[in-house]
Amino acid sequence: MTEHIVPKKIYILVFAILIAFTALTTAVAYTDLGPFNTVVALAIAVCKASLVVLFFMHMKYNPGMTRIVLAAAVGWLAILLALTLTDVSSRHWLPAPQGWESSAPSPRPR
Amino acid sequence: MSEGHAQALVAEQFDDVEQQRGATSLGMWVFLATEVLFFGGLFCGYTLYRGLYSSAFEAGSHLLKIKFGASYTVMLICSSLTMALGVRAAQLRRRKALLIFLIITILLGAAFVFIKLRYEWYGDYLEHLVPGIDFAPEGENLVVIQRFGAALPHVSLFMFLYFVMTGVHALHMIIGVGLLATLFILAWRGHFTGGHYEPVEISGLYWHFVDIVWIFLFPLLYLIGGRY
Amino acid sequence: MSTVAVEVPALPDVHYLNVSYGWRSWLLTTDHKRIAWLYLLAITFFFFVGGAAATLMRLNLIEPQGSLLEPATYNKLFTVHGLIMIFFFLAPAVPAVLGNFLIPIMIGARDVAFPRLNLLSWYIFMLGGSVFLYAVIGGGVDTGWTFYTPLSTTYVNTNVISAAMGIFISGFSSILTGLNFVVTIHKMRAPGLTWFRLPLFIWSMYAASVIFILAMPVIAITMVLLMLERFFHVGIFDPALGGDPILFQHLFWFFGHPEVYILILPSMGVISELVAAFARKRVFGYSFVAFSSVAIAVISFLVWAHHMFVSGMSIYAGLVFSALSFAVAIPSAIKVFNWTATMYQGSVSYDAPMLYAIGFIGLFTMGGLTGLFLASLAVDVHVHDTYFIVAHFHYIMVGGAVMGYLGGIHYWWPKMTGRLYPEGWARLSALIIFIGFNLTFGPQFILGYVGMPRRYSVYPAEFQILNVMSSAGASILAVGYIIPLIYLLWSARYGPPAGPNPWGAKGLEWLTSSPPPTHNFEETPIVTEEAYAYAQEEA
């Protein structure tokens, strides 16, 4: 790990961009983009996070294992979400068979 | 870790400073990976329920106050800047600059937690929006919920996720403030003027990670669906 | 006089065990070898607690109407048995005992990357264990080790929150240990020790550590949500309030399935070492075995919902997970083939560690093949929640993981204590364990297939013969476990000195004295040869 000193200017520039993105995402929340509100908000969030990781966390200057570690963490989270969603999104493709409901009242605890 | 004075000391299990720096840095990144998965479980629950109850999530998001969320975001971004500048000061062996940047970061973090608990959360409690304790939206809040045609139990689920996600995040902030306070004391004693800056660097990594979590929480909780 | 100089082995004057005395030197140690002993004592205690629960269960199951225990008590016993054995015995067994002791030595380092974090891990483990024991003594928990909702959050009256808290706390111990191992293996290898010269035990431990890091945080947050739901009843897992109990199962098993690979991978690493040492041959297909460890770690995260085929989950998702579950068997099979090929035309000696290794290979294969039956959706619908499942995972966990652990303990006992254990008693116990194990769990495959459900304290009378066989086997198995406890303890004090390399094996750990000095090596070794470089000697 080399001792790279990042110039103050870069930090301030990244800071300014982050503030600008925050203002942007808040402003977009007050406009109607339908389903794209979420997409834009997430895209901006990813950009902000990337800036923090690359510059504040020095990822740009210290490549190597740290990239693999971060990629693995994000990738595994993606696996958790994606495969769970395969269940939730496809659950209603096959409707439950008829006649399963019992006429007895379901038990409630307290 | 080393004891004290102005030399970059190497712990006995390491061969040299290079190895120590590489190991501590990798160690913190691996720890942050575990934190991604820790928060990730909450994001998984969030994603599932937002898909199932989108109108309730929109309604719930409208019950939150953007002014709080946006202020927090700005405060945390500022604190990340001061933290990064603090790490830089430690690298350059500038004790006074490091102390100043640490104290500002600490104050911003403490202010975040204080405002959240004293004003936002207490305000939610007064409006009867806390699931499990007192969830009975009324007045303006009830109008909003009805406008979206959302079922009360589903809005309650959203509020639960909101409290848990921001609560776990706030807990991490408090731990971060504690970490930085410890660093401040060590820096005061001149611990970081000898080129031994790894503790500051890895605390910075932790702090930036907590900031990144908030960067995602803000739009996902406060900005669902838009206000217009 | 013979021309071969016979050196009488002796313990070194100063080594890591006698360098300092007193409880402070043990409870405040940062020496990875002493921390390994701290773990060894703790997990042995937990093993016998979990074993006591199993003993009571098997005694109860001798009678079809379960005359010994109330059903409510029986439910608590199988829950506690599962939780203790998984979290407080198996998960730390090979990693925290053998891994802690061996990893730095095998890579030529003085200690792990973060020795104080290592000690903290043990304290966190003890805290979690204490909280969990409090839950057990204070009335127990009866939800099954899987804590399924809404049973655990809404319907039971037992100590769910404190049990979940104990699991939550102990999870952090594992996370920190995994973190320590990953950084140690990456950053602290001796000069010349490239990745492909590492012992396969290190590869397995590395893969298991990656799983620790990625899976354990998810069980942590799941336990948090479980505790919050039980306390606040918001409904996140309660269908009556709009919640989804399957969400709990997804979160639980996303951790739960990789967890079982945490339990088996380290033992697989032990087997690689044992087979090489006792066949006096390089492990066949070294890189295949190394990559298979990594493949297991990766694929294990893609298969979790095969535990949920009958939960009400989407059938289409079930198809996806079923296909992926077939894939995860492949790297394990590769290991079994390679171990067998290693033994072929090797110069095999049947010391106790090798008996455990051979037992592992056979029993793990049976457990693994029955796992494939379960990966098939249609078969699993029939045998899910029956004793077939119980038999399957005990073949892997006990026939596999525990035997790997015992084999490793015996193999490295001379290194850890400086003394030899009595070989005759060790071979006898290995045999008793093998017989007792098969008698206990073999009949359970049949029981499950013909329909006996698991987690029941009573059963139809026609199943009694098989249940009695199983309980008889359990008593033999118990004897098999108690005997090593006695002779290992005895030999730690009175066994004959072992010398640096009693097995004549390859590996950096055999280059240093038995027991090693605190810093493992007098001088950092420089590695110039491949792992298991046996072939050169057979000339």
Provide the chain C residues 78-137 that lie in CB contact (below 8 A) with chain B. 109-115
Instruction: State whether residue B140 sits within 8 Å of chain A by CB.
Output: no
Nearby residues of C417 by Cβ (< 8 Å), 6 or more positions away: C17, C491, C492, C495, C498, C514, C515
pLDDT at position B3: 43
Instruction: State whether residue B39 sits within 8 Å of chain C by CB.
Output: yes
- Chain C environment of A90 (Cβ under 8 Å): 314, 316-317
Q: Residue C154 in contact with residue C238, Cβ under 8 Å?
A: yes
Whole-number Å distance between alpha carbons of B152 and B158: 10
pLDDT at position A95: 76
- Chain A environment of C240 (Cβ under 8 Å): 106, 108
pLDDT of B210 > 60? The answer is yes
Whole-number Å distance between alpha carbons of C341 and C421: 29
pTM: 0.94
Inspect the interface and report whether the beta carbons of B208 and A56 lie closer than 8 Å. yes
Whole-number Å distance between alpha carbons of B211 and B83: 11
Domain definitions of chain C by residue range: 33-534
C316: nearest CB among A84, A93, A106: A93
- Chain A environment of C301 (Cβ under 8 Å): 76, 79
DSSP chain B: ---SSSS----TTSSSHHHHHHHHHHHHHHHHHHHHHHHHHHHHHHHHHHHH-HHHHHHHHHHS-HHHHHHHHHHHHHHHHHHHHHHHHHHTT-HHHHHHHHHHHHHHHHHHHHHIIIIIIHHHHHTTEETTTEE---HHHHHHHHHTT--HHHHHHHHHHHHHHHHHHHHHHHHHHHHHHHHHHHHHTTTTTTS--HHHHHHHHHHHHHHHHHHHHIIIII-SS---
C213: nearest CB among B22, B34, B40: B34
Whole-number Å distance between alpha carbons of C152 and C142: 9
pLDDT at position C280: 95
pLDDT of C23 > 90? The answer is yes
Handedness of CA B157, B159, B163, B169 (dihedral sign): positive
C187: nearest Cα among B182, B5, B23, A28: B23
Render pLDDT for C134-147 as a digit per residue (tens, 0 to 9). Answer: 999 999 999 999 99
- Chain C environment of A109 (Cβ under 8 Å): 154-155
B128 within some domain: yes
Q: Determine the residue type at C492.
A: A
Inspect the interface and report whether the beta carbons of B51 and A31 lie closer than 8 Å. no
pLDDT of C242 > 70? The answer is yes
End-to-end CA distance of chain B: 54
pLDDT of A96 > 90? The answer is no
Instruction: State whether residue B38 sits within 8 Å of chain C by CB.
Output: yes
Structure tokens at B27: 């160690």
- The residue that leads in pLDDT, B10 or C418, is C418
Render pLDDT for A55-65 as a digit per residue (tens, 0 to 9). Answer: 999 999 887 88
CA A18 to chain centre: 17
pLDDT at position A102: 65
Structure tokens at A74: 């994000």
pLDDT at position A32: 83
Whole-number Å distance between alpha carbons of B88 and A58: 11
Render pLDDT for C277-329 as a digit per residue (tens, 0 to 9). Answer: 999 999 999 999 999 999 999 999 999 999 999 998 999 999 999 999 999 99
Inspect the interface and report whether the beta carbons of A22 and B70 lie closer than 8 Å. yes
Q: Residue C140 in contact with residue C208, Cβ under 8 Å?
A: no
Q: Name which of A32-36, B149-153, C330-334 the model is least confident about.
A: A32-36
B134-135 and B129-130 strand pairing: antiparallel
- Chain B environment of C242 (Cβ under 8 Å): 52-53, 151, 153-154, 157
Provide the residue count of chain B. 228
Instruction: State whether residue A11 sits within 8 Å of chain C by CB.
Output: no
pLDDT of C2 > 60? The answer is no
Instruction: State whether residue B125 sits within 8 Å of chain C by CB.
Output: no
Inspect the interface and report whether the beta carbons of A87 and C315 lie closer than 8 Å. no
pLDDT of A1 > 80? The answer is no
Instruction: State whether residue C347 sits within 8 Å of chain A by CB.
Output: no
Neighbouring chains of B at 3+ CB pairs under 8 Å are: A, C
CATH superfamily of C33-534: Cytochrome c oxidase-like, subunit I domain (1.20.210.10)
Inspect the interface and report whether the beta carbons of A30 and B70 lie closer than 8 Å. no
Inspect the interface and report whether the beta carbons of C247 and B48 lie closer than 8 Å. yes
B206 within some domain: yes
Mean of pLDDT values over B138-155? 93
Instruction: State whether residue B43 sits within 8 Å of chain C by CB.
Output: no
DSSP A24-47: HHHHHHTS--TTHHHHHHHHHHHH
Nearby residues of B193 by Cβ (< 8 Å), 6 or more positions away: B6, B93, B95
CA angle C402-C122-B180, nearest 5°? 140
Domain that holds residue B39: 33-222
pLDDT of B4 > 70? The answer is no
Q: Residue C227 in contact with residue C161, Cβ under 8 Å?
A: yes
Instruction: State whether residue B16 sits within 8 Å of chain C by CB.
Output: no
A76: nearest CB among C186, C301, C315: C301
Neighbouring chains of C at 3+ CB pairs under 8 Å are: A, B
Instruction: State whether residue A72 sits within 8 Å of chain C by CB.
Output: yes
Residue whose token pair is 């003394």: C419
Render pLDDT for C54-83 as a digit per residue (tens, 0 to 9). Answer: 999 999 999 999 889 999 999 999 999 999
pLDDT at position A101: 66
Residue whose token pair is 């404190």: C162
pLDDT at position C6: 61
Helix (H/G/I), strand (E/B), else coil: C214: helix
Instruction: State whether residue A80 sits within 8 Å of chain C by CB.
Output: yes
DSSP C356-411: HHHHHHHHHHHHHHHHHHHHSHHHHHHHTTBHHHHHHHHHHIIIIIIHHHHHHHHH
pLDDT at position C538: 46
B11 within some domain: no
Q: Residue C347 in contact with residue C329, Cβ under 8 Å?
A: no
Neighbouring chains of A at 3+ CB pairs under 8 Å are: B, C
Nearest CA in chain B to A18: B77
Instruction: State whether residue B33 sits within 8 Å of chain A by CB.
Output: yes
Burial-class residue C9 by CB neighbours within 10 Å (0-12, 13-18, 19+).
Answer: middle
Mean of pLDDT values over C177-199? 96
Residue whose token pair is 């062996």: B93
Instruction: State whether residue C422 sits within 8 Å of chain B by CB.
Output: no
Whole-number Å distance between alpha carbons of B90 and C222: 38
DSSP C445-494: HHHHHTTPBSS-S---GGGHHHHHHHHHHHHHHHHHHHHHHHHHHHHHHH
Q: Determine the residue type at C467.
A: N
- Chain A environment of B219 (Cβ under 8 Å): 25, 29, 38, 41-42, 44-45
Structure tokens at C404: 């790997």
Inspect the interface and report whether the beta carbons of A83 and C316 lie closer than 8 Å. no
Inspect the interface and report whether the beta carbons of B157 and C243 lie closer than 8 Å. yes
pLDDT of C220 > 70? The answer is yes
Inspect the interface and report whether the beta carbons of B157 and C241 lie closer than 8 Å. yes
Whole-number Å distance between alpha carbons of B66 and B47: 21
pLDDT of C397 > 80? The answer is yes
Distance from CA of B216 to the nearest CA of C (A): 18
Mean of pLDDT values over C439-462? 96
Domain definitions of chain A by residue range: 8-89
Tell me the backbone φ, ψ of residue C134, rounded to 5 degrees: -60, -40
Inspect the interface and report whether the beta carbons of B154 and C242 lie closer than 8 Å. yes
Inspect the interface and report whether the beta carbons of C218 and B164 lie closer than 8 Å. no
Instruction: State whether residue A52 sits within 8 Å of chain B by CB.
Output: yes
Mean of pLDDT values over B136-151? 92
CATH number of the domain to which B85 belongs: 1.20.120.80
- Residue C539 pLDDT level (bands cut at 50, 70, 90): very low
Nearest CA in chain A to B65: A26
Instruction: State whether residue B51 sits within 8 Å of chain C by CB.
Output: no
B22 within some domain: no
DSSP bridge partners of C419? C497
Distance from CA of A84 to the nearest CA of C (A): 7
Whole-number Å distance between alpha carbons of B55 and B66: 18
C123: nearest Cα among C221, C39, C34: C39
End-to-end CA distance of chain C: 26
Distance from CA of B171 to the nearest CA of C (A): 13
Mean of pLDDT values over B89-93? 93
Mean of pLDDT values over C44-53? 97
Nearest CA in chain A to B82: A11
Inspect the interface and report whether the beta carbons of C234 and B26 lie closer than 8 Å. no
Mean of pLDDT values over C248-270? 97
Q: Residue B41 in contact with residue C222, Cβ under 8 Å?
A: yes
Q: How many C-beta atoms lie closer than 10 Å to residue B226's C-beta?
A: 19
pLDDT at position C381: 94
Instruction: State whether residue A50 sits within 8 Å of chain B by CB.
Output: no
DSSP bridge partners of C497? C419
Mean of pLDDT values over A85-98? 83
Distance from CA of B169 to the nearest CA of C (A): 12
Distance from CA of A5 to the nearest CA of B (A): 7
Nearby residues of A27 by Cβ (< 8 Å), 6 or more positions away: none
pLDDT at position C5: 59
Inspect the interface and report whether the beta carbons of A66 and B37 lie closer than 8 Å. no
Residue whose token pair is 């090593």: C484
C389: nearest Cα among C466, C467, C447, C310: C447
Whole-number Å distance between alpha carbons of C209 and C185: 10
Handedness of CA B115, B116, B118, B123 (dihedral sign): positive
pLDDT at position C119: 97
Instruction: State whether residue C409 sits within 8 Å of chain B by CB.
Output: no
Q: Residue C290 in contact with residue C424, Cβ under 8 Å?
A: no
Inspect the interface and report whether the beta carbons of C224 and B12 lie closer than 8 Å. no
Whole-number Å distance between alpha carbons of C219 and C162: 15
In whole angstroms, how large is the CA radius of gyration of chain B? Answer: 21
CA C327 to chain centre: 22
Q: How many C-beta atoms lie closer than 10 Å to residue C6's C-beta?
A: 5
Helix (H/G/I), strand (E/B), else coil: A57: coil
Bond into A97 cis (ω within 30): no
- Chain B environment of A63 (Cβ under 8 Å): none
pLDDT at position B10: 86
- Chain C environment of A87 (Cβ under 8 Å): 246, 250, 305, 313-314, 317
- Residue A107 pLDDT level (bands cut at 50, 70, 90): low
Whole-number Å distance between alpha carbons of C135 and C83: 12
The total of structural domains in chain B comes to 1
